[in-house]
Amino acid sequence: MNDIENEPDDGILELGQETAEVRLTDLLRAWYRTYIDRHSERALVIVILAAVIVIGYFVESKLAFLNFFYIPILFAACAINSRTAVLGALFSVLVVSLYALTFPDQFLLDTERGQLLSHIITWGSFLILSGALVGRLNEKQNERYNRSKKLVEQLKKEQIEVDTSHKKLQKGNESLQLKSRTIESLKEKLEAVLYSAMDPEVVRLAVNRQIVTEKKLMTILFTDLQGFTQYSEARSPDVVIEGLNQYFNAMEPIISRYRGHLDKFIGDGIMAEFGAPLHFQQHAAMAVLAAIRMQTRAKKERLLLPMRIGIATGGAIMGLVGSEKRKTYSAFGDTVNLAQRLEMMCTPGKLLINEETWNNVSHFVRTRKIRMGLSNEKVLEMEDRLDKLQDIMTSGSGGGEVWLEAGRIATQLGECNRAVQYLKDALRLLPQRKIEIDESIVQAVMVEEERSQLEVKGRIRKVTAYEVLALSDPLQDINKFPPTFHKRYGSQEPKLNGVSEYLLAIEAVDASIGQSRVTTSLSRAIAEAMGVTAQTRETASIAGYLHHVGKRFIPENLLNREDAEHNLQVMTGHVNEAEKVIAELGVEVSSDVLEAIRHHHEKFMGGGYPDGLKGDAIPLPARIIQVASQYDTLTAWKPYRDAWNRKAALSELHQQTEHGHFDPKVIAALTKVLEAS
């Protein structure tokens, strides 16, 4: 083994021999060049003299051999320099001339001496000229060569410097990458720690230094558990914490789904903001929908204790608040105090909102106005009596006493405008009781003030509060559908696991609440009116239900624009993303459903999106859901316009059909459905 290790490598020996040979050759070349440089002129003289002697004694035709002198002269011009070549040429001419003068007979054949000298002079001139020209050309060539050589050497030097710099840069880059990976790792660990204490979106903004302190319009949500103090005192700490964590784990995803910022857990309560730090125009709707879903889940899963929720919309200051070492991103101001006060006065299992929130959500939720100083039972009793009186007054069978009683009940409920109208009608029927009725009108104004007084943080202020009862069912809107429509199609919504929550969160962003429900039901009704197959009806129904799932990826500012329904980016975006979203949701649908969703923005006469199909080339379910969706868009309330009535919407759809947008057969079926009694 050792012998093998001690044996020389043949490849290394051969390489060494080759290197030695190369070095010897270089030394010989260097010696040769040095010797030539030192003895070039002497060697040239010797060569010329030797040539003259050889030609003079051994060559008979000496004139013919004069051209031999071009060889050393041109060699001198190329190998030495032009000066040596010219001097060599002059020397050659001089020697040959002397030889010719000394031994003219050696050159004379049939030529006279004058001609001989003329011939030698001509030959000598060309010899000198050739030496000078070739030498000069050679010098220029050498100059260019030397310059090129210097440039090459400079480039080699610079290349070495570049290589050195590159290696240093590479090492520096590797070091930076290592540091970057370390920083990213630390950042991920920091974010992981912060995520457990702060909202992920706030963490991202804080890490990127994008947090700003601002006062803006937002919606504040407060929750609290009824009787938690007694609950916690009667149980062990482990049971209390486990139950509380279970409750929070159920509520937090709902707040996140509706884009809320979970500010903090306050004992058994939650504080959240909607519309901050990320702006959403429909923050009030998102907060109310989140609260409805929170109450629904809490009741369904019987989480811990009954929950109270208070919501207020208004201006609030938002920013990082705290000490130098510890801060939290939170909101504060009158709106925060009001939301908390509404939560405290809320009935367990219910949801209270302020008037500004109500103004933004009243189009799609059913509410009941809260009267301060009256119990819920008393309010329900008075409202029931008022409804009965209203029926009597509508029938025309009641006298002035009925109107007077209705006015007084409306007064007690704090319904000032309604009370004044009833009392004025009573005065018309009972003019003899003018003084009494006038006093009742004054009392109606005063009671409204009392019923709207709410103490917030020690201050008395006028606040109108509403209890949210439930989401309104758009299929029961008589301005939109015939009275029998809900009964026939209201229960035929597709049962797709987990999709309804996802769709509602999408619809909340642009306040298009219920669009999926309307489109799926109306698509089924249109398909039935057209007499298509059961499979086509089912495809149209499912596609109508899912046709806007891709809006999840459309920027909020585009969805809330007045031209959103005609905006190309909105149309192209949600159509292109729909299939991916459906796959992510784990919903199994047929290829026909996906095709219908993809092509529901095609135009019947062509020019639509995405493939420019026309006529029967557009799948029939796509043509159906396009009409159903457009009808819902026209008849639904939008932040930038009021809802259209049924007649106006149908008229608009017929006009668009004349311009080639919709299939006339589908529009005819829609008209048949909506005109049904």
**Residue 540 pLDDT class (50, 70, 90 cuts):** very high
* Burial category of 31 from C-beta neighbours within 10 Å (exposed 0-12, middle 13-18, buried 19 and up): exposed
pLDDT above 70 coverage of the chain, percent? 81
Residue 99 has pLDDT above 90, yes or no: no
d(CA 583, CA 589): 9
Q: Please give the structure tokens belonging to residue 368.
A: 């009941």
* Domain 474-674 falls under CATH 1.10.1530.10: no
User: Do 276 and 282 contact (CB within 8 A), yes or no?
Assistant: no
- Strand partners for 307: 225
Do the bridges between strand 260-266 and strand 269-274 make them parallel or antiparallel, or are there none, so unpaired?
A: antiparallel
Which CATH architecture is the domain 200-369 placed in? 2-Layer Sandwich (3.30)
Which H/E stretch holds residue 165? helix 113-195
Domain-wise residue ranges, the chain? 9-166, 200-369, 385-451, 474-674
- Picking from 451, 466, 525, the residue whose alpha carbon sits closest to that of residue 493 is 525
Residue 17 has pLDDT above 50, yes or no: yes
Q: What pLDDT does 285 receive?
A: 95
Residue 493 has pLDDT above 60, yes or no: yes
d(CA 632, CA 416): 35
- Picking from 215, 216, 193, the residue whose alpha carbon sits closest to that of residue 203 is 193
- Picking from 220, 442, 224, the residue whose alpha carbon sits closest to that of residue 331 is 220
d(CA 204, CA 194): 10
d(CA 91, CA 68): 14
State the pTM of this model.
Answer: 0.68
Q: Please give the structure tokens belonging to residue 313.
A: 């919309």
Spacing of C-alpha 64 from chain mean position: 93
Q: What pLDDT does 297 receive?
A: 93
**What would the pLDDT profile of 648-675 be if each residue is shown by its tens digit?**
999 999 999 999 999 999 999 999 999 8
- Picking from 69, 88, 86, 72, the residue whose alpha carbon sits closest to that of residue 129 is 86
Q: What pLDDT does 576 receive?
A: 76
